[in-house]
Chains A and B, each alone.
Chain A
Amino acid sequence: MAEEYLLQMSGICKSFAGVHALDHVNFHVRPGKVMCLAGENGCGKSTLVKIISGVYTRDEGKVVFEGNEITKITPAEATRLGIQVIYQDLSIFPNLTVMENLAINSEITDGRKIVNRKRWEETAKTALSKIDCKIDLYAKMGELSVADKQLVAICRALLFNAKLIIMDEPTTALTKREVEALFNTVRQLRDQGIAIMFISHKTEEIFEISDDVCIMRNGKNVFEGPTKDLTPRDFAYYMTGRELTDDHFIPKKISKEPVLKVEHLSAGRYYNDVSFELHKGEILGITGLLGSGRTELALSLFGLLKPTSGTINLRGRDVKIKSPMEAQKLKIGYVPEDRLTEGLCMAQSIADNIELASLKRISGNGFTLNHKKIFEDAATWVKKFSIATDDPHKYAQTLSGGNQQKIVLAKWLSNDLDVLILNGPTVGVDIGAKQDIHHLVHQLANDEGLAVIIISDDLSEVVENCSRVIVMKEGQIVGHLDADEVSEANILQIIH
């Protein structure tokens, strides 16, 4: 290709109601390369993407695509140029078949009025053949795994002779193995000469997949250049604007007697014959691929999934946990995987969310409730966890992912707990907040003697925070690593 750059953007500015979302951003994409756009939540990444795809118009700046200056981008124009965006939600129709999902966009663009099954089928087959994937054309989209849905979305984008594919945080809902498969697809596309713009905030992923990186912070780009010029340390600095320290968890005082003892616990086809112990003051990691039974095990400990056999022993007493209400009485807390649907009432205040699990305590008599007390109590947690808000009356949805996660933590810690289960505690949380949360959990284990379980497939998180690790695979415990054995390499060896 004659041009060195496929897409050049320089001096891009965009403001909303006087607030600068983008402030003179410069940005280049090379053809046949993977470029990562990194940055914490709210740094302007998505605004930039929307300008490229024509959803927003820029206030200032120059855009050059394939050597031609583009004055005005509309969504249709972007498609014509060969720019395709794969949004985080993948823009699929769960109620339609794979075939329809693949063909419908090009049918609309061609302005068709009548449905021709044969043509649809051909279009769909062509799309799938582009990256050689085999998915049942007549399966309902909603019944596919996230990874397969993503492949369908990619195939659909390829139908438009895409030259630049923008993927918005594509790995969020994927397991480690699925991410690997996705990266292989990305490499395959790259080798076909397609430029990929990969949006992410996960350090390892960026170093693994990208050729170039552009890091944004507060609407400005603070770094742009080849990935190889960057070290993970620099990367973290550019992302957060502060130096991060290594912070390994070192347990101070682990109780002799286990607070929780699980023996031969099984639940149908989810997990089988699981036994482990948990002591006060330690952080136990449970890791494994998605579908390994790690989440279901946690749900059983929290009363959301009934085990079929085995025992749960808490503080020396056999217990049956039938509901979250009983789990709470037994001093077990659970921070779920999905903040949006399981963790928070987004359209209610921060204070109401923090006190959601402790209404009885606030009330005193279990019936009457004083709203003033809720806000007073919540204010202390806002301060303690340095949740970034000026007023706990504001809605939970006004906060960033990291701060929202702190609310969910506070919700449980405002209860008197013995065992805290954290499922994916830092999913969708940016690096700075991630470290805050880890630090907080360390303190809880060390200073308050809490027994903590961290369930995660983020291996660096597990290694950094857990004093012991259980590895699960296909519903069974396949490995048990003590403090001196915990390392990413060891865990990976057991998983694969």
Chain B
Amino acid sequence: MNKAKMKRMTRRTEFYMTIVLILMIAIIGIVSGGNLFQASMIVTIFRAMVVDGMFALCSLLVMISGGFDLSFPAIAALAYSLSTTICVNNGWCETNPFMGFFLAVVIGAVLGMFNGWIIANFKLNTMIVTLGTQTLFTGVSMGLLQMKEITTTLPKSFNAVGVSYLFEVYNANGQRSTMTSTIILLIIMAAIVSFVLNKTMFGRSLYAIGGNEISAERAGYNVKRTKFILYTVVGALSGFVGMVRTCLAQQSIPKALVGKEMTIIPAVILGGASIFGGEGTVYGTMIAVGLITVVSNSMLLLGIGTQWQDFFNGLVILVGITVSAVQAKRQTKA
């Protein structure tokens, strides 16, 4: 029994990813002469993980249900730019950022609902539907609403959220850096998503639908309603993450997230989610996001120009999915 458990664990993608992450950190740590473990470097990496990690969680939820969401960056972009614009125009959120976040979540939820309505009612390919809604939402934000970049006039409380920190750290040479407090948001979100996926019937229903939709329907799940709720929730979360990004970046740029899905989705897959649905864990997703963040943030440490960052990101993803594909192939043969 114990042996069987052991075997099941070692066959999981999450297991390999953890090993790869540790090896990667060790190698980069050694090659960079320990610079990777400088306090400033560590907090930078955690800071870079916040937004990507949260987006990856959104993507993970959809992926488990067997869907493929291309629209979450567009939803986030529309939500934060609209919300920020409203706040700026009304002079809100100078001291309390609540209204801004609330608006973004509501806008995100409404857009998500639109996704959910089409996907649940017409049983269409989710990738194509979200491609359509992505184009549509971009059109709405930059065409219809003419969203503008907001930089210096950003509400003060947003700036405050962005610069707030948990603790200060100092490098050996005395250089000061801070650990962003938004990391707490990522941890809370990961904990909630993990709880929902493992401990609630809603979460299990996502796995069930991703595994076999017809069976899920026969078992008595209301698949339509589940999908509708799923896309609404993911929309709301995307709006929220968008706001976090705005705070961290200290600016609201409607175009900033274009193409974000192309780096987030591969990361989620790398973490063990299946594009056919039914597989994926919060732990694996976080490990994969961590791996990519570490690699792209250690270019300078390794003496490689930052212009190579995108290339190495791509390479990590390519190697990662190749290894897991080969692994899967070997398993089906065995």
Contacts and interface: CB of A to CB of B under 8 A. Distances in A.
B140 to A, nearest CB: 35
A237 interface: no
Contacts, number: 64
Interface of B is mostly: helix
A474 interface: no
B198 A96 contact: no
Contacts of B203: 115
Given A104-B219, A105-B220, A108-B219, A95 B211 contact: yes
8 contacts: A92-B212, A93-B212, A95-B207, A96-B278, A105-B219, A112-B201, A115-B203, A115-B204
Contacts of A107: 201
A89 interface: yes
Contacts of A136: 4
A-B pairs with lowest CB-CB distance, top 7: A95-B278, A93-B211, A95-B211, A91-B215, A108-B220, A105-B219, A115-B199
Interface string A55-87: 000000000000000000001100000000001
B218 interface: yes
A461 interface: no
Interface in B175-233: 198-204, 207-208, 210-212, 214-216, 218-221
B229 to A, nearest CB: 13
A114 B200 contact: yes
A110 B201 CA distance: 11
A96 B199 CA distance: 14
Contact of B8 (A87, A94, A100, A138): A138
A65 to B, nearest CB: 20
A109 B211 contact: no
B330 interface: no
Contact of B199 (A93, A105, A114): A114
A138 B5 CA distance: 8
Interface of B: 4-5, 8, 198-204, 207-208, 210-212, 214-216, 218-221, 277-279
A496 interface: no
A123 to B, nearest CB: 14
Interface residues of A, number: 24
A109 B208 contact: no
A134 interface: no
A159 to B, nearest CB: 12
A91 B219 contact: yes
A113 interface: yes
Contact of A96 (B202, B208, B214): B208
Interface in A389-428: none
Contact of B212 (A91, A113, A140): A91
Contacts of A75: 220
A138 B200 contact: no
A7 B208 CA distance: 33
Candidate in B199, B212, B216, B278 with the most chain A CB atoms within 10 angstroms: B212
